[in-house]
Structure 1
């Protein structure tokens, strides 16, 4: 960093994954999940971690009974300002927040006059009094106080004087941060910057924050616009979790602030540039906790973020990565991928072979043969850019490096609808696999939740002398795409496996029969595991 680094302004990051992110459809954190995620955020260097709403549900109440051991972040509770018609001392919500084991408290208050009248059913003056008393109570109790000015930008456009009065009231009462919220997510960047700049004439930018929702796909852009307007705190979530379309994605914001100008030289974050390579792992760990596949197309951290399948692009990348990469992939813990596809040339093939540790001369005729094989396969429906293990097997087979571990004699899958012991209809799936290892014939049968599950269980039930090599295999994702629609439709199946080390790989199968396509992908996955393990 240059000598001017000491003059950089501090920029604070506030994470609300455990509170606002928990409102995402399909997301349900356990207490263990919350503790794990808080630790990840703390390791990253986030300044504030909002743990939830104590008193709103038993889980959040338990979480705030004893705050998690954080080294850097300030653990923050969330709740409403006091209700109209009672004092802060007699408000049970305020009492719950003050009893929470948290260093800071974020109060939420309406700042749009329409919302005050319709949602709260009180007067504008009562709402301001609630802000004053709530902030004062937290400060008196020795807590850092923040105010989320809900619906601030809609409120400012409707009645700027009142929205501004809410912000000024909170700051005057002792709030460390006054956070301007684009609650409905409909404000655009130029409006955000203009309004934040106007507010900063009354509340200093060093006390202003931005809380943006992503309903127009502008949450990240709006957060940066607010910083340009003077705000010095950004609120967001990991992977952009949040209700409706989500919140500002801190996984996109953090590397932008650290690696892009003018932010990199103007602002100082608690997240260190040396810590940034943890970002991809943290993003993917969250997805694993939520039992969902990471977004391949996520900026910075997605598997496709630094991938190309065009031959001329790959050729340029091999000469100079900057030709098609805006930042080095390793700076955010990601990696470069030159994909093999029907659009690829020799550059892609050679780069992918190099990545998997295969050394071959560019003039070797097998490279051309492999390229033609890939193109023929993809013409049939295979897609190797999403199936790294199947490509490696294909490449090594062309190069003569894959042993024949076993032969499949036949397999059979049966699906039937029948009565169970209680007299209810159930769908039962059963698979039988007959295979040959050396001179030994092995037959295995298994029942499963569906035909593919039954086939997977039967195939891995008894692999003879190779059984120990596959004992830690786990099927973690199964995806199907039907194309060339009609009665002769072709099905592509992608299956993702993991092993005890945490490594994952994906295989592909294609057929007009979904069971056959699935079986191809299963066979590739097991063969890849045996090859990787060095089985003889």
Structure 2
């Protein structure tokens, strides 16, 4: 069977911008438009609604100016209205050449919103299309609320399509405006239309209110749809539109008779740029472009990947310019850790690997995922035990209140003898140190002086990252350093101090 080439129209800059609180600047629109056409290689882009604002007009001018210079002008489209030529004048000023004319695809919308008869509506549409043709503007037509039209007023829809078949229209667009139809309806409705009008070009425009956008797209394509409207990250009004990334992956993997020209390798790059410009964060578990979708967390999965890629599928991260990662947390096994060590160029013997694995599991109970960048810090912390553990900090309470000095109550065991002490200080850690000094005074021991205190987190980490505290101590003989590691800065300093206490006791 010969492959059918499907047109992909990206409407992130128009329908996607209807996402609540999203507004792209003119420069952002131009940057995204260039990426969509030049790098992602979609067939067409819808970039704005006519008559919205002066800022929108300038944004469209910028895009059309660039598009004209680079032979993309015929791929740039603008949503217009049946408004006696006002939208046409706006388009001429903006330099656009393709209008996507919004019309009523259900009798319910026509009767209650426009309060007009089909004949009146068709005559006004014909006049608008004729005016556009005179001005050198190509016309595509949206049948707004088409899905409900097919459900509730099918005779009207086919009357409308019969009228459009006589008009100089390049594409007829079938939107599930409210995101309400099922995959079966998507197939049945499109099939019925394509069977009656096999030579007309129909675009399918899915919304995602029931999370059926991609499934509906698949069925519309099976039924013969000629084009799709998609958005980056599934942006759009309410629950958004059918997402570009998932749809392209599904077509490429499960629809061998369908061909699209979209460059998969660029999907993630464009996705992250749109995330930055829009301020709408990509969910971590969003297919293809989410942060976690190519991350194995369970140790058994990492082990399986090392044995003939048992947990791989056709959805390989390299297709989208990404890499597979192995999370470090309480579900990690040695296989996860070994995968990360390989990436860092590190090797551990079996005993050290066991210790590091146990430490990561312990940290995972407090911090959901430990990053690869944390790993050298954890190794340093775990393997920095060249002493017999004779001092143990059992528990402590750290208090900090406005207007009161910080205080600490601490319990420690020294050579199997347990002590409790309370003290105040200039800060929580200072209060902790004062309590420890008081305990060691009872044993006629003097603590070394603290001469340097450095806190750092792994590069690229966030506020919940593991924190390494390195403290330099000085006693009568020499200077020495101890390290502590924890997601809490004060706790990591306490752990570094516990190591110091063991060193001086030993």
Q: TM-score, normalised by structure 2?
A: 0.74
Among residues 4, 8, 31, which one is paired with 2:3 in the alignment?
Answer: 8
Contact 1:13 1:234 in 2 (8 A): yes
Report if aligned partners of 1:54, 1:64 keep a CA contact under 8 Å in 2: no
For residue 268 of structure 1, what is the aligned residue in structure 2?
259
Q: Distance in 2 between matches of 1:25 and 1:188?
A: 25
* Aligned with 1:51 (options 47, 55, 62): 47
> Which aligned pairs between 1:385-404 and structure 2 lie closer than 5 A?
385=370, 387-398=371-382
Query: Which deviates further from its counterpart, 72-81 or 214-223?
Result: 72-81
Q: Could you tell me how far 1:378 is from its partner in structure 2?
A: 2.1
Query: How many angstroms apart in 2 are the aligned matches of 1:94 and 1:495?
Result: 58
Question: How far 1:243 moved relative to its partner?
Answer: 0.7
2:367 corresponding residue in structure 1: 382
Alignment of 1:272-283 (within 5 A): 275-283=263-271
Please list the CA deviations of residues 296-343 of structure 1 after superposition, one character each: whole Å capped at 9, or x if unmatched: 211112221122212222211122335343322101112111222222
Is 1:139 aligned to 2:133, yes or no?
yes
Residues 62-73 of structure 1 mapped to structure 2, 5 A cutoff = 62-66=58-62, 67-70=64-67, 71=70, 73=72
Which residue of structure 2 aligns with residue 81 of structure 1?
82
**Structure 1 runs not aligned, ≥5 long:** 83-87, 401-410, 417-430, 444-458, 461-468, 479-492, 497-507, 521-536
Go from structure 1 to structure 2 and tell me whether the alpha carbon gap of 1:101 and 1:494 turns closer, same or farther (over 3 Å shift): farther
Report matched runs for 1:423-462 at 5 Å: none
CA contact (8 A) 2:7 2:227 kept: yes
Instruction: Return the alpha-carbon distance in structure 2 between the equivalents of residues 412 and 141 of structure 1.
Output: 75
Across the aligned residues of Structure 1 and Structure 2, the Cα RMSD in angstroms comes to 3.4
Q: CA deviation at 1:351?
A: 1.0
Q: Structure 2 unaligned segments of length 5 or more: list them.
A: 385-397, 404-426, 431-448, 468-484, 494-506
Q: What are the superposed Cα offsets for residues 78-99 of structure 1, whole Å, 9 maximum, x if unpaired?
A: 11123xxxxx4xx323322344
Q: Who is 2:226 aligned against? A: 232
- Do structure 1's residue 356 and structure 2's residue 338 form an aligned pair? no
Cα-to-partner distance string for 1:315-374 (whole Å, 9 max, x where unaligned): 11122335343322101112111222222221111112112332345xx31111111111
| Conserved? CA contact 2:22–2:279, under 8 Å | no
CA distance in structure 1 between the aligned counterparts of 2:125 and 2:451, rounded to whole angstroms: 78
Task: Return closer, same or farther for 1:510/1:125 CA change in 2, 3 Å cut-off.
Answer: same
Residue number in structure 1 paired with 2:327: 339
Counterpart-to-counterpart distance in 1, 2:399 and 2:25: 41
* Matching of residue 372 in structure 1 with residue 349 in structure 2: no
- Counterpart of 2:142? 148
Whether 1:250 and 2:247 are equivalent positions in the alignment is no
Is the CA contact 1:206–1:231 (under 8 Å) kept in the aligned structure 2? no
- The answer on whether the counterparts of 1:205 and 1:230 sit within 8 Å (CA) in structure 2 is no
Equivalents in 1 of 2:145, 2:287: separation in Å? 28
- From the superposition, tell whether residues 388 and 292 of structure 1 become closer, same or farther in structure 2 (CA, over 3 Å): farther
The whole-number CA distance in structure 1 between the counterparts of 2:308 and 2:65 is 45
Count of aligned pairs: 418
Instruction: Provide the C-alpha distance between the structure 1 equivalents of 2:383 and 2:166, rounded to a whole number of angstroms.
Output: 73
User: What is the CA-CA distance between 1:34 and the residue it aligns to?
Assistant: 0.8
SS at match of 1:384: coil
For residues 441 and 369 of structure 1, what CA distance do their matches in structure 2 show?
29
Identify if the C-alpha distance between structure 1 residues 432 and 60 changes in structure 2 by more than 3 Å, giving closer, same or farther.
farther
